[in-house]
Chains A and B, each alone.
Chain A
């Protein structure tokens, strides 16, 4: 068609440049600096060319630039395929396409690229703020699409029209979002570049590694309990279990899931909850001690840690039932028990001496040895602090006998060491302890600063028993919150401080909104879709049912919108409607009005046919003519005309 080859006007060039900038700028933090600057300056150059109305560069030069840009991306990422390189290429293409705006087709290509860049943005972040920026970009891009079709209207008019049309599109979006049958991705191999370094627990523990986490208020996971929230002191969220000690670091040894059912018998009351785990790039799933089953695609390791088959790349949600009072009473393997006794050949002589003394006193009575160790830790008057002094050699002895100041990893490490030295199998368990209830949405929020380490000891008649040595010296850490246990004046995460309660309140509100967003918008997975539709009354929502409901509801929305069109049509011209009403009344008396007939001519004819009504016919016609043709007709004139006609009974 001839119209498609229209050249792009200067005004359209400005529009396209604005849309491209709007789509490209939010992406720049995720792109290499050279690319952001390069594409940015090409866009600036395009602005200058538009302003000066210069000629566009020749095609061969653009082709060279495309090749150079692709090569540079390949060099940067070692590939041009995959998510980030793909986005980088889009960033180059859109800038260069702006230099090739010759016909309407090129303008369309830029607009469609802009929509695509919005999707690219979502590959990096999907927060509420991102969504808001995306909405602005989409409004601008849609206005640009309208300007590419007709650039005469003023910019604010096009923006308003674009906003209106998108607002009208919203019902369709909501319906499709809820009802469109979801497919669990990926459709093709997910590129491996999605993992980004996040703060969180690791599979090894050195003195200071958890204290470091205490400075981060990033969210680890959120929990929604279906009943009341258990007591704070019961909230032990089990994570990596560490059995191997090299004198300084503890290391997890089990990285494989082996069983789907727990080996321990369940006792006591149960707690049902749903846990939403933030992506952390590790295979661990956290669970309240101790669950009765595993979530989908996961298993227990030998040391009772929940491991997912794949690393957690996306926000993951699972429901569990835990029994906090359960005792880990089962026959553990000899390998595990042997490993839980292993110690370095030498080092830390003072605690070894103390442990040897407990052993000679209590012999094989593990329970008594544990009690002796607890007693010993209590008498050492250890202090709980975020900033323990550095100890270079013999870290256990240094903590217990010299500095006497430490964070939970010091306590757990020293306690497990002393039990092992006394011949009782022991290991360190890391995870999170406690959590903060957000009163706004009822979710328990567990942050990185809730990271904790504790100890498990093997007692032949009771199995693995949790002993939290931190609780001996700093009971408030467990009963209340770690902030309460830390001495005043230590550096805490800003919002964790007690005097920041109003800010924390504000944060809780924001967090509740963000969580709602995560749960319902970002977490609207195929599974949640099924659950939600079931709760709405669809018994077995398969794709046929969803499509049917979707079709019916979309049809309804379409009808409403179409009705809006018809309504607008009937709205038109009340003056003419009044006139038609008048002519109908006369037609009943045999005076037919023809639509080519002027009002005056008709009035004359009607007056001749019905001489008794001549006066009112003339009066009505005069009112009508005034409304039609006089420059200043008022609404009062219209109601006057309507009155006259209402009282007209020929």
Chain B
């Protein structure tokens, strides 16, 4: 019986909660920065501990009445006053706090997205034990010193590539006595770019003819030799520094690096992929290639239908490439 009845009830509860949150948030989402938790959007209710406290007060009051204990009355009235005062203190701990969206580093789908929020305390007193959390995630607890700010980083799992807006967050506190919970909802304007997850396995890098020639035509690339690094499985075998390996018999394989841009130019091309691959799979393979190419120190370019990224390398190139993949087909 409880099973059949429980589910609709829980659903109803969730729905009610959701509509309360919408009503309580009452602002256009996302909110412009900074988000100031004004008095109107901070809510206050007793915690479970607070309910237990009230019940104990009732029992103390009954005892005081029954035994005509005037000091018992005084005790219970003092504790009632304490209960009222702690509402104010808890409320005060949260109200007028302002949130400023910070950074949200791009991540690959499947990795948690991290949203940085800067919490500013415009008051001359420490705000202690402020908890922030996204729906079902674990809360982050921060203290914000007087007239200063702290950063809280909230995490959210990702599944899809593209822009991930920071979900609605709850900011709550039960400081100082744990009897009262003050909370507010906020939807700061912060989003995270989620790259497609690189394919777990991908075909080798698409060495085209001209790119392969560029490095081996006459060995002139040797002039541009710029160093050694540990061999990676995607490096062209002809770049292995056999001499160096031979000097250290049990050492790792090493790859020669060349700085000549023309020497290792590679195009990561949508069209090169087998036609039976879907869009997301293609993007996954391209992401994988991009990382490989970057790791190999190659200059790589990207061709997507209708888009083109000229060859290059380095973090900016990688970010641009991954961004193109993340947003492919969305804009």
Contacts and interface: CB of A to CB of B under 8 A. Distances in A.
B85 interface: yes
Interface string A1-22: 1111000000000000000000
A166 B122 contact: no
A165 B176 contact: yes
B65 A185 contact: yes
B82 A522 contact: no
A558 B71 contact: no
A138 interface: yes
Contact of B66 (A104, A149, A188, A573): A188
B77 A176 contact: yes
Contact of B52 (A108, A131, A161, A571): A108
B78 A173 contact: yes
A494 to B, nearest CB: 29
B178 A166 contact: no
Interface in A529-565: 554, 558, 561-562, 565
B273 interface: no
Interface stretch (B86-94, B102-110, B243-251, B300-308): B86-94
Given A165-B82, A572-B124, A138 B177 contact: no
Given A115-B56, A165-B85, A169-B81, A186 B122 contact: no
B142 interface: no
Given A112-B56, A115-B56, A119-B64, A169 B74 contact: no
Given A165-B89, A168-B81, A171-B81, A573 B147 contact: yes
Contacts of A2: 138-139
Interface string A306-332: 000000001000000000000000000
A188 B62 CA distance: 10
Given A180-B73, A185-B66, A168 B85 contact: yes
A299 interface: no
Nearest to A165: B85
A246 interface: no
B83 to A, nearest CB: 8
A255 B301 CA distance: 114
B128 interface: yes
Contact of B75 (A112, A138, A168): A138
A314 B122 CA distance: 55
Nearest to A523: B70
A131 B16 CA distance: 48
B77 A180 contact: yes
A145 B89 contact: no
Given A108-B49, A149-B174, A569-B122, A169 B82 contact: yes
A180 B176 CA distance: 28
A314 B68 contact: yes
Contact of A170 (B60, B81, B86, B124): B81
Interface string A115-136: 1101100110010001100100
Contacts of B59: 116
A148 interface: yes
Given A165-B176, A185-B67, A568 B81 contact: no
B267 interface: no
A165 B67 contact: no
A112 B52 contact: yes
Residue from B62, B77, B122, B147 whose CB has the most chain A CB atoms within 10 Å: B77
Contacts of B319: none
Contact of B178 (A149, A183, A554): A149
A83 to B, nearest CB: 7
B81 A172 contact: yes
B159 interface: no
A526 B314 CA distance: 85
Interface residues of A, number: 62
Contact of A150 (B80, B125, B129): B129
Contacts of B62: 187
B255 to A, nearest CB: 47
Nearest to A568: B123
Contact of B86 (A138, A165, A183): A165
A138 B78 contact: yes
B176 A146 contact: yes
Interface string A175-189: 011001011111110
Interface in A574-593: none
Contacts of B147: 572-573
B124 to A, nearest CB: 6
B27 interface: no
B88 A562 contact: yes
A187 B178 contact: no
B160 interface: no
B182 to A, nearest CB: 12
Interface residues of B, number: 52
Given A165-B85, A565-B88, A569-B96, A118 B75 contact: yes
A150 B81 contact: no
Contacts of B14: none
Contacts of B89: 165
B77 A131 contact: no
A523 to B, nearest CB: 8
B75 A149 contact: no
Contacts of A166: 78, 81-82
Nearest to B62: A187
A550 to B, nearest CB: 11
A182 B176 CA distance: 32
Interface string B43-62: 00000110011001001101
A169 B80 CA distance: 8
Nearest to B181: A1
A7 to B, nearest CB: 15
B85 A173 contact: no
Given A149-B177, A187-B66, A565-B88, A176 B123 contact: no
Nearest to A169: B81
Given A4-B48, A112-B52, A112-B53, A148 B178 contact: yes
Given A176-B80, A561-B88, A568-B123, A134 B71 contact: yes
B202 interface: no
A83 B178 contact: no
Contacts of B129: 149-150
A131 B69 CA distance: 12
21 contacts: A83-B67, A108-B49, A112-B56, A116-B59, A142-B177, A145-B177, A146-B177, A146-B178, A165-B85, A166-B78, A169-B85, A172-B77, A176-B81, A177-B74, A177-B77, A180-B77, A522-B70, A568-B125, A569-B123, A572-B122, A572-B123
Nearest first, the 3 closest Cβ-Cβ pairs linking A and B are A169-B81, A172-B81, A149-B178
Given A2-B138, A131-B71, A173-B77, 12 more contacts: A115-B56, A126-B70, A138-B75, A169-B81, A180-B77, A185-B67, A522-B71, A524-B70, A554-B84, A565-B92, A568-B124, A568-B125
Interface of B: 48-49, 52-53, 56, 59-60, 62-82, 84-86, 88-89, 91-92, 95-96, 122-125, 128-129, 138-139, 147, 174-179
Interface of A: 1-4, 83, 104, 108, 112, 115-116, 118-119, 122-123, 126, 130-131, 134, 138, 142, 145-146, 148-150, 153, 161, 165-166, 168-173, 176-177, 180, 182-188, 190, 314, 521-525, 554, 558, 561-562, 565, 568-569, 571-573
